[in-house]
Structure formats: C-alpha cells, structure tokens
DNA sequence: TGTTGACATGTGATAATATAACTTTTAGGT
DNA sequence: ACCTAAAAGTTATATTATCACATGTCAACA
C-alpha cells in the first residue's frame, strides 16, 4: 500500500490524480454548501481508483473493508449523492457506477462500455443530447435526464475478440 | 372480455391493431425460420396491449394468469427472444419492456419515458446513433448496441406537473 | 412409424440489485 | 453544553435476473 515516488518530476506532496480529483470534488461541493463526508470521499476514491465501473455491491464491499457500514444503503446513499451532484455517473446498461471524468462542468456525457474488459469511456455528448432534446420537444416531450450508452469493444479488445452474440 | 364490434367501419374480422401487429411479427419471424410460440405470442400481445412499459414480473403475472408457467425464466426467455429479434425493446432506465412500434425495419430508436404516467414514446434515432457510433470510432471504440433513453414529462403530464427533483 | 435431436418450456433454487423504515451518531449553530 | 438537522448505521424486505436441470414438443428422416 505504500505509494511509489512520483517519477522524475521531483518529489512534491504525492499529488496523485486521485487526490487531485478528490480535492476538486471537495471544492465543488463546498461551493454549494455540501459536504464530502468520509464515506462519500472514500466512495469517490474507490471509483476514481478503478479503471472501469463498479457495481454498488463492489463499492460496498470495499467500504466495509475500510471500516464503514456493510449494509447496502451505505453504498447507495453515497453513490446517489455523488451522482446527484455530478461527481459520479450511473451506467444503466450494466447497473454500475463510474467516476465522472470532468466534474463541475455541468456537462452531458455518453458512455462507451467495453463488453470484453468492462472499461468505460466517457465522451462528451452535448450535441447528442441537444438532438435528442429537440427531437423530443417536437413530440411535445420535455426531457429532464438522459442515458446515452453504448456497448461494444474498446480499442484494446478489438483484436481477436469474440464477435458480438457468438460463443466459444 | 367479449370484444366490442368495430365501430362504424363495417364489421370485418376484428383486425385490431394488436392482432395486426402479431400477424406482422409472425411473418417476420417465419421469414427467418423462427417461431412465434404461444408464450412468445402472448408476451408480445401483453406488451402491445399496454400503453407504457411493463416490468418482467408484470408480464410474468399476466402469463401465469393465462396458464403459462409462473417462474421468472418463462417471462425472461420470451422477452429476451422478442428483444433479440427486434419486436420488443428493453428500457434500462426503468428495467422494463415495451413493444416495438416499427418492427422489422431494423431501425435504431430512442425512448422518451414519462416519469409521471410511465408512458413510453419511441422515436427514430438513426442520426443520433450514427453520431454516437462515429464519436466512438474516433475514440477507437466499436459500438455494437446502444441505449438511448430520456426521462421527463410527456405532453399530457407537462401541465401542473411536479418539478423534477422537488417534492409535494 | 418410431427414433432422434434441437429447440422450447416448466420448475426450484438462488443470485444480484435496490429500497423502506427506523435508530444512532455526528457536526455545527446557538 | 444543548439543540437540531443531516448523515450514517442497521434490520428487513422488495425487486430484478439467472442458473441448472427435468420435461415436453415437433419436425426430419431412417
């Protein structure tokens, strides 16, 4: 668990990307009078440390291992809070959560989910969302939230991958 | 449960929209050497008869009431089959299923889900999907399936509706 | 015509995901 | 120190989904 020294850039205070993201999250929340409590902070860290997405129960297991409560509401509450405030995204196709890549920008994103390695790529989707919102408005429908998700193969998994729908 | 006579258009053989859709579905499947078995047929009917979307267990309850098996796999198998062959769509935001409005056209759709009355509107989303596919390709990601869903308020529910996120 | 083989269905058990309802703790304001 | 509101903990349960295996159906064809 010891953190390795930052490579040749000269040793500052170990500002890992995760720590930086946590700091940013904390500022964002404080600016709105909200608190990044220990469970919430740890939940966000867990997601930031994970390349792909995690299910609520995966998060819960890690939280419990760190001494937090071990019942589902502990994880769901923290996750819901983080989603609500734009720090985490919920992926409905796979019932999982992933840290937001660009918190605080009030953006709308789409997600590319690799069915092979489970990694998740967040892509900007302002245009995509705008199109959907206006298509909807034409139908008299007022859009409040969107889920824009795709599954398929990430660059690393494209070679030698099993075709969609086929088996061994 | 007796079917009322078709109104003033002259009594043919009761070609309800549901029956017509079932016939279409059957042709489509037969053209591919697939069978619209009784459970599958009834499952599709159930969804066609319902304005909104139904959860798998809602479908299951209706199937069981009609004398089919009462265990979850009965519903999930029929639903999965119908989804697989483009006759039914799965809505991931609400864990529910809805009959396809335009079967056999091999289209891609987006869904507008009313959070108030639960009705679902299917809109064409070829352009939307094409945009997402090409955004993804730019990131080296190969898209296989998409979920494009929005929740909000349908035309009927927009007046006097409770604002998103607020309470009584 | 009877066997076979593939597909479909039925069933029991259980896994995975999510929420409700209530209690206790904690942080911050007075 | 006391109070209050938000947060965290806990018990229980609801909801959604899959696995594994037994049984049934039906058409091809020997």
Over residues B34-84, the pLDDT tens digits come to 999 999 999 999 999 999 999 999 999 999 999 999 999 999 999 999 999
Residue B135 lies in a domain: yes
Q: Which of B139, B147, B164 sits opposite A147 (nearest CB)?
A: B147
> Which domain range does residue B44 map to?
17-157
Exposed, middle or buried, B36 (CB in 10 Å: 0-12/13-18/19+)? buried
**Chain A nearest C-alpha distance from B23 (Å):** 27
Residue A116 has pLDDT above 70, yes or no: yes
A59 touches strand D (CB under 7 A): no
User: Which of the four pLDDT bands, split at 50, 70 and 90, describes residue B12?
Assistant: low
Residue B105 lies in a domain: yes
CA gap B86, A101 in Å, rounded = 34
B27 touches strand D (CB under 7 A): no
Strands (E) in A15-162, as ranges, are 88-91, 96-99, 109-114, 120-124, 142-153
Least confident of A140-154, B1-15, B38-52: B1-15
Task: Determine, for residues A132 and B110 on separate chains, whether the beta-carbon distance falls below 8 Å.
Answer: yes
Which bases of chain D are contacted by protein, using any atom under 7 A from a CB? 6-13, 15-20
| Average pLDDT of span B90-107 | 92
Residue A58 lies in a domain: yes
Residue nearest to nucleotide C16 (CA to C1'): A57
User: Which of the four pLDDT bands, split at 50, 70 and 90, describes residue B7?
Assistant: very low
Residue B162 lies in a domain: no
Contacts of residue A128 in chain B, CB cutoff 8 Å?
Answer: 128, 131-132, 135
Give the count of domains, chain B. 1
A77 touches strand D (CB under 7 A): yes
Residue B163 has pLDDT above 70, yes or no: no
**Chain A nearest C-alpha distance from B140 (Å):** 5
The CA dihedral of B124, B125, B126, B131, to the nearest 10 degrees, is 160
Residue B41 lies in a domain: yes
Residue A59 lies in a domain: yes
**% residues pLDDT > 90 (chain A):** 81
The CA dihedral of B1, B6, B11, B12, to the nearest 10 degrees, is -80
- What is the CA angle A89-A90-A91, rounded to 5? 120
Residue B13 has pLDDT above 70, yes or no: no
pLDDT attached to residue B113: 97
- CATH number, domain with residue B117: 1.10.10.10
Residue B29 lies in a domain: yes
Q: Establish how many alpha carbons lie within 13 A of residue B58's alpha carbon, considering only the half-sphere containing its beta carbon.
A: 13
Please give residues of chain A from 58 to 97 whose alpha-adjacent beta carbon (CB) lies under 7 Å from any atom of strand C.
71-73, 76, 80, 95
Residues in CB range of B106: below 8 A, 6 or more apart: B86
Residue B23 lies in a domain: yes
Please state whether beta strands B109-114 and B142-153 pair in parallel, antiparallel, or not at all (unpaired).
parallel
């Amino acid at each position: 668990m010891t953190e390795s020294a930052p490579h040749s850039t000269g040793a500052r205070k170990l500002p890992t990307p995760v720590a930086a993201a946590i700091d940013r999250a904390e500022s964002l929340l404080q600016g709105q009078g909200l608190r990044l409590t220990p469970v919430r902070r740890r939940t966000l860290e867990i997601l930031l440390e994970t390349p792909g997405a995690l299910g609520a129960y995966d998060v819960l297991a890690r939280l419990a291992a760190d001494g937090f409560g071990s019942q589902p509401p502990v994880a769901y509450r923290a996750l819901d809070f983080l989603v609500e405030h734009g720090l985490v995204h919920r992926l409905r196709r796979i019932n999982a959560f992933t840290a937001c890549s660009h918190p605080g920008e009030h953006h709308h994103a789409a997600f590319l989910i690799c069915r092979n390695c489970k990694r998740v790529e967040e892509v900007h989707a302002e245009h995509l969302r705008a199109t959907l919102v206006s298509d909807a408005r034409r139908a008299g429908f007022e859009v409040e939230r969107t889920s824009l998700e795709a599954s398929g193969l990430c660059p690393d998994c494209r070679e030698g991958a099993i075709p969609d729908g086929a088996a061994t």
